[in-house]
Amino acid sequence: MRYELYYWPMIQGRGEYVRLALEEAAASYRDVAREEGIAAMTAMLEADSATPPFAPPFLKAGRLVIGQTANILLFLGARHGLAPKAEPGQFWVHQLQLTITDFVVEIHDTHHPLGPTLYYEDQRAPAKKRTAEFWSERVPKFLGYFEQLLGRSGGAYVTGRRLTYVDLSLFQIIAGLRYAFPNRMAAFERNIPGLVALHDRVAARPNIAAYLASPRRIPFNEDGIFRHYKALDD
DSSP symbols for 97-136: HHHHHHHHHHHHHHH-TT-TTS-GGGGHHHHHHHHHHIII
Q: Tell me what pLDDT residue 93 has.
A: 98
- DSSP code at position 172: H
Q: Tell me what pLDDT residue 156 has.
A: 95
- For residues 20 and 44, the answer to whether their CB atoms sit within 8 Å is no
Quick one: average pLDDT of 199-213? 98
CA dihedral 154, 156, 159, 164 (to 10 degrees): -170
Q: Tell me what pLDDT residue 81 has.
A: 97
Q: Tell me what pLDDT residue 126 has.
A: 87
Query: What's the longest Cα–Cα distance across the chain?
Result: 51
Q: Tell me what pLDDT residue 163 has.
A: 98
**pLDDT tier for residue 118 given thresholds of 50, 70 and 90:** confident
**pLDDT tier for residue 122 given thresholds of 50, 70 and 90:** confident
Helix and strand element counts for the chain (H, E): 11, 4
Q: Could you tell me the pTM of the whole model?
A: 0.96
Q: Is the pLDDT of residue 197 over 90?
A: yes
Q: Tell me what pLDDT residue 115 has.
A: 85
Percent of the chain with pLDDT over 70: 100
**pLDDT tier for residue 62 given thresholds of 50, 70 and 90:** very high
Tell which wins on pLDDT, 55 or 119.
Answer: 55
Across 7-21, 48-62, 118-132, the highest mean pLDDT is recorded for 7-21
Q: Tell me what pLDDT residue 75 has.
A: 98
